[in-house]
Amino acid sequence: MPANTPTPNLATLARTAIEASERAYAPYSKFKVGAALLAEDGRVFTGCNVENASYGLTNCAERTAVFKAVSEGATHFAAIAIAGGVGDVAMPCGACRQVLAEFCPPDAPVRCVSLDGSIVKDFTVGELLPGVFSL
Ligand code: THU
């Protein structure tokens, strides 16, 4: 990790993820998810889930954030916050864990918060996907 990598402020990142969840396009599941991804260059990229009438085309909030970031030239990330769930946090799905593992070091923090911010659970990318597939 470069020496100038920003120290993640996970509380701020979580608040940004909650704000991003308000932009979720989830007319089918009604399950809103937001993500805020801190790049090593200090930029924060947000994402929300984007559903489709053809259900399998749905894109999760985390992957929306990652794909936005990569398309803007950021490919190394220091932390992510994910906002979803009422009464508990939403955990990132398997596909999103694999995508995060592609671009984050194993010790990168993953903060999961409920939509109202009252429940917070902290993990690392490596904890969430032991035995990651890599080439
Ligand atoms: N969802 C995410 O945005 N991220 C995840 O990691 C798990 C699931 C979304 C996809 C879908 O729009 C809704 O949650 C219900 O599955």
User: Is residue 39 within 8 Å of 77, Cβ to Cβ?
Assistant: yes
Question: Residue 8: what pLDDT?
Answer: 86
Give the ligand 1 atom nearest the CA of 58.
12
User: Which residues are catalytically annotated?
Assistant: 62
Q: Backbone phi, then psi, for 25, in 5-degree steps? A: -105, 95
Question: Residue 100: what pLDDT?
Answer: 98
Instruction: Judge if the beta carbon of residue 21 lies within 6 A of ligand 1.
Output: no
Instruction: Judge if the beta carbon of residue 98 lies within 6 A of ligand 1.
Output: no
Beta strands in the chain (DSSP E): 33-39, 44-48, 77-84, 109-113, 120-124
Question: Residue 65: what pLDDT?
Answer: 99
Question: Residue 67: what pLDDT?
Answer: 98
Distance CA 125, CA 25 (A): 26
Give the ligand 1 atom nearest the CA of 96.
6
Q: Backbone phi, then psi, for 88, in 5-degree steps? A: -165, 170
Q: Along the 135 residues of the chain, how does pLDDT read in single tens digits? A: 677 788 889 999 999 999 999 999 999 999 999 999 999 999 999 999 999 999 999 999 999 999 999 999 999 999 999 999 999 999 999 999 999 999 999 999 999 999 999 999 999 999 999 999 999
Rg (CA), the chain: 14
Assessment of whether the complete model's pTM goes beyond 0.85: yes
Ligand 1 centroid–CA 4 distance in Å is: 33
User: Is residue 34 within 8 Å of 20, Cβ to Cβ?
Assistant: yes
Question: Residue 78: what pLDDT?
Answer: 98
